[in-house]
Structure 1
Amino acid sequence: MLCATALSCSPRPSARPSLAKFPLLHHPALPISSPSSSSPRRSNSWGWTWTGRWVSRFLSLYLSLLTSVSVSQAHEYRPSPSFTHACEDIDTYYAQLRNSKGQALQKKLHSLISPHRSLSYKQVWDALKILDAADVDNPEASPGVVEIYTLKIVPKALAGKPEGWNIVAIDSEVFTPAKTLPGEHLWPRSYGLIDRVSLSDLHNLRPSDINVNSSRGNKYYGECAFTSAKCLRPANKEAAIDTESDSKRWAPPRQVRGDIARALMYMAVSYGFHQPGGGPDLHLSDSPSIEKKEMGLLSTLLRWNKFDPPSREEKLRNDRICKFYQYNRNPFVDHPEYADLIWEQK
């Protein structure tokens, strides 16, 4: 029951406390002069005066203690902060998912993250300059962005230029800034991305060097197979030194392998049951197929998710997509364990 005041929640003193508990309150009065039979009223008056003072002090002390308890309770109360978007309150955002696993968890996540704000092409340009800024603590003032496969810092001003970071056309129309999207689609377009909602999803986009992005093409993710006749290390002369590639697979730098794995898991959940534009459902598999729209390698992505946990930069990126752009989150950044709960159950 809620209390209207601190006093109403505190134990009430008895109407008349026993004086035996407070000996000073009934101590015999000490007259100024020797008592005599001629001055009983003065003696009684003196005694009542002292008794009244002690009662007053007792009540003051009692009320002071009650006030201290009330103030202490007030300091312990922490009201919930206000949030503009539901995704900002992480604990509440995932509350409905407790004890879920397998396809049940995947479907609940889909219902949670699939509805989101779709951005215009210009908004995507501007967003990547913030989300992937070299200075994550001051992204607006940061002059450069970090490319996903080279880990190099390149000037924001070089976006879309031949010597700068990549632009990917989303359709067959005329190649113009208004009809293009920047960066690398981690989940390639040929594996089932057909409309602007999926193609412009910030969780799936990163700045990328134009030449390195062309080298990757639409290869699925994974280290070179042991039987590969030709494995390139690095995957491209301009790529990071710890990348590798063969005719089918592409392995990004080690420090972003977990990031990429979680981005693909997000895509498989967000677009795994329904695409707004009527496109095919996306899936992860150890047998990748463009025809089936199955990306991979699933077992490799699960391993990367474990060995490269979310960094501070990845968490900040997720927070900013939620708060400023799409108003949804990548659940695998907040809860990497969801990956095993979904795919290791199959």
Structure 2
Amino acid sequence: MSAHRSHRPWRRPLLSAAAIAAIAVPSVAFATDTPAPTSTPSPRSAQQTLDDTYYKDAIGKTGPELKGALHTIISKQTKLSYDEVWDALKATDEDPDNPANVILLYTGRSQSKTTNGGGEDDWNREHVWAKSHGDFGTATGPGTDIHHLRPTDVSVNSTRGSKDFDNGGEELAEAPGNYTDDDSYEPRDAVKGDVARMILYMAVRYDGEDGFADLEPNDQVDNGSAPAIGRLSVLKQWSNDDPPDAFEKRRNQVIFDQFQHNRNPFIDHPEWVGDIWK
């Protein structure tokens, strides 16, 4: 096992926003015989609607109770075959600026949807929870769950292999911002949180039922074929430092609307990471 280098300062891109100043003008009330109109209630947000419906049995829970409730909720899903994953990823990971392309997870490169395959510069189906960690392969279930399957450059996917996630290593020339050593892989900053939330989704969704292993994160690397992946402490930090962005939220919605009809709860409620794994 190679030694990990010290943690580098966070390298998130700077975001700019236009600030709009609002000037409050006090209103003046006048006596009148006409009754004041009844105010129209503001429409409920999409998140409030989800909490009232999809997540209603999880709201207010923490720890094992929250994890159990979420498992029951997200286990109600449509399962895809491994062949169906190809077309699903072309929709879930579509480049918002070029509908003919997908965005590759580790490189961030926009690449034609038609270049999927096994060639060195093609894109393929990366199991973010490495399929050897629990020996589920490409079986329908964890092996085809598109909440953790993403398009990646073939050779970069090969470099990641089945390594656990952690900070450290040497930077990949083919994928700047990604680092690896003998036993771990560190993705680029823009998708660190995505990776963490995919791993934690898998730990809640697959708990030993359906003939598959009970998948759990732990705080170590070099887990081999055990149904475990790490490091949990690093994944929690990544999720906190890289909150869900528009691309990740859209992806979650497309999976829910068009394919599996279940959600990754840690995209909708990132705070649940800390509520379950304290």
TM range (shorter): 0.7 to 0.9
TM-score by length of 1: 0.65
Cα distance in 2, alignment partners of residues 263 and 218 from structure 1 = 15
Looking at CA atoms only, which structure, 1 or 2, has the larger radius of gyration? Answer: 1
Pick from 264, 271, 274 the counterpart of residue 340 of structure 1.
Answer: 274
SS at match of 2:111: strand
Deviation at 1:203, TM superposition (A): 0.6
Equivalent residue for 1:33? Answer: none
Q: Which residue of 1 aligns with 2:20?
A: none
1:208 partner SS = strand
The answer as to 2:233 corresponding to 1:299 is yes
**Cα offset for 1:77?**
6.2
What amino acid sits opposite 2:123 in the alignment?
A: N
Q: Is 1:215 matched up with 2:159?
A: yes
The Cα offsets for residues 206-253 of structure 1, whole Å up to 9 and x where unpaired, read as: 1011111111110000112xxxxxx3113xx211x1111110010011
Task: Confirm or deny: 8 A CA contact 2:193 2:244 kept in the other structure.
Answer: yes
CA distance in 2, matches of 1:322, 1:104: 23
2:215 to 282, 300, 309: 282
1:145 to 102, 108, 118: 102
1:98, distance to aligned residue in structure 2 (A): 2.6
Between structures 1 and 2, the one with greater helix share:
1
d(CA) in 2 for partners of 1:79, 1:256: 32
Distance 2:100 2:43 in 1: 39
- SS of the residue corresponding to residue 102 of structure 2 reads strand
Q: CA deviation at 1:149?
A: 1.0
Distance, in Å, in 2 between the alignment partners of 1:314 and 1:158 is 22
Rounded to whole Å, the distance in 1 between the matches of 2:218 and 2:132 is: 16
Q: Given residue 238 of structure 1, which amino acid in structure 2 is its aligned partner?
A: E
State the TM-score, normalizing by the size of structure 2. 0.80
Aligned-residue sequence identity (percent) comes to: 36
The whole-number CA distance in structure 1 between the counterparts of 2:122 and 2:40 is 51
Q: Matched residue of 1:190: which SS?
A: coil
Structure 2 match to 1:264 = 199
Unaligned 5+ segments in structure 2 are: 1-32
- The 2-side partners of 1:300 and 1:310 are apart by 17
Aligned residues: 243
Mapping for residues 43-122 of structure 1, pairs under 5 Å:
76=40, 89-92=49-52, 93-122=54-83
2:51–2:59 Cα contact (<8 Å) kept: no
CA shift, 1:294, in A, is: 0.9
Q: Which structure exhibits the higher relative contact order, with contacts defined as CA atoms closer than 8 Å and separated by 6 or more residues?
A: 2
Distance in 1 between residues matched to 2:166 and 2:122, nearest whole Å:
23
Deviation track 1:267-323 (CA, whole Å, cap 9, x = no partner) reads 00000x2342x0110000013423431111100000000100110111111111111
